[in-house]
A and B are shown apart, each in its own frame.
Chain A
Amino acid sequence: MPSIDSVILGLLQESSLPDLYKRIIRNMLPDMTQIQKEDIYLALSEAKDKRKALKEEGEKICRKYEDIVGRIETEPDNFLREVEEIEKECEEDKTKQSSGSARLTIKQKLALQSLKKEVKAE
């Protein structure tokens, strides 16, 4: 099992901290108390988790727009028709205001559509 020191060093390497901070922490590490180490570990690992989540969010954005642009390139007419249909639905939903999906934006509906496609493909 890796020691907390080696885990902190690994996290430090991955972190976006200014170099100055990394060097101070690296030098301080041997003299740190357990509480200090845990605080550093928590700060670094929390940031790492958040970055991971943001990276996944970035992946989603890429997939969504890659799908959109792919369809614009290959089937512009169908794509335009679909978008216009969705827009029309949204307008109708807005006036009805009857269900939760009424509040979905065009962007969300497109995302939903590509998600359904992904599920089908799988």
Chain B
Amino acid sequence: MVQQSLQPEKAPVSLSMGPAQAPTQKLSFRERIGNIADRLKNAYNNAKNGKSLKEKIFLFLGGLTQDVKKLQVAEKQVDQQEASKVAGVIQNASPDQLTAAIKPEIAGANPESLPADEKAAVDALVPVIGNAFQNDLNDQERTAVATSLGFAGPEKAGKALADSRNKLLVAFFGLKTLKGFKLHFQRNRMGVDAIAGQIDAFKRAIMKGNFKPGSSGTKDLFKFDFVDLAPLASKLPLKTVPTLAAIKDPNWSADARAKVIGVFGQFLPATASNTPALEKAVDTIHDVASKGRGLESKDIATLLYHVEANDFDHLAEIIHS
């Protein structure tokens, strides 16, 4: 049994936080190394034996740096391996276990005493955070999602709860880059309508507050990386009045069309701007917009679909910048 070998040690073992023992060891590892380096530098400056001793000291300084660097790399690897193994356990935990672990962090010790609307928001937030942990996110992304949704403690949960719907949208659509979306297109050869339908179903479910990971209509969305729709919608030139007016005009001139393509092109890398794919995307959006329909997920999905062949990574960078 594991218990038999479980003898916790009191002293922390981190290199940087090492405890004191002998007089010189009262300093941490970093302090000791800094001290040695300073002494070597002083010795270098004070060396009167000519060039030779200076050269040797210089070499020892180099050796010291190299040795410390190797240790730091090894320490980082240990941290990463530990986090990865622990993350593995969390990823394979049951939804009930995760809910029980996450809920107190965002709702405080007595979630039952919350007002009904806040309680509902907590119930919506918990599976979202749980899902963030169980999907293929890195530590940074998990922390960003959990923190943005109030995981930093009950005191911060209030704010997260207040605009939980927006937060949910932003967090979810911001989780992954367009790169994942591109891959999904490639793997599944999905049509624009299918993707737009899924995105809309997902949004509706969140806005109504009855979003459940894995539920019908949203299930497929969880299989692929999310598109950063919210920032995308706000950053794309669709929002700019002249561009919007031009793109909505059923009788737009060739000149106006070229200008709109040019505006879109500014948001794309050189390789993707002014290409037939971009022209087609703009034409499709124009077609939709000029018929009086709003610019919705479908239009954005169309745009993404048609520029997909170019450089999504860069597009994602622009959108996230």
The chain A residues found within 8 Å of chain B, CB to CB, are 1-4, 6-7, 10-11, 14-18, 20-21, 23-25, 27-28, 31-32, 36-44, 46-48, 50-52, 54-55, 57-59, 61-62, 65-66, 68-69, 72-73, 76-77, 79-80, 83-84, 107
Contacts and interface: CB of A to CB of B under 8 A. Distances in A.
Contact of A58 (B15, B63, B79, B86): B15
B82 A16 contact: yes
A61 B74 CA distance: 14
B110 interface: no
Interface of B: 2-4, 6-9, 12-15, 18, 24-25, 29, 32-33, 36, 39-40, 43, 47, 49, 52-53, 56-57, 60, 63-64, 67-68, 71, 74-75, 78-79, 81-83, 85-90, 93, 96-98, 100-102, 104-105, 133, 139, 142-143, 146-147, 151
29 contacts: A1-B6, A2-B7, A4-B6, A7-B6, A14-B12, A14-B13, A21-B90, A24-B90, A24-B133, A42-B85, A43-B86, A44-B82, A46-B82, A46-B85, A55-B29, A61-B64, A61-B67, A61-B71, A62-B29, A66-B24, A66-B32, A66-B36, A68-B60, A69-B36, A69-B40, A69-B43, A80-B52, A80-B53, A107-B63
B149 to A, nearest CB: 12
Contacts of A68: 60
A76 to B, nearest CB: 6
Nearest to A27: B101
Contacts of B56: 80, 83
B contact face: mostly helix, strand, loop, or mixed:
helix
Nearest to B66: A107
Given A27-B101, A43-B89, A54-B15, A38 B81 contact: no
A11 B14 CA distance: 12
Contacts of B90: 21, 24-25, 28
A17 B57 contact: no
B39 A69 contact: yes
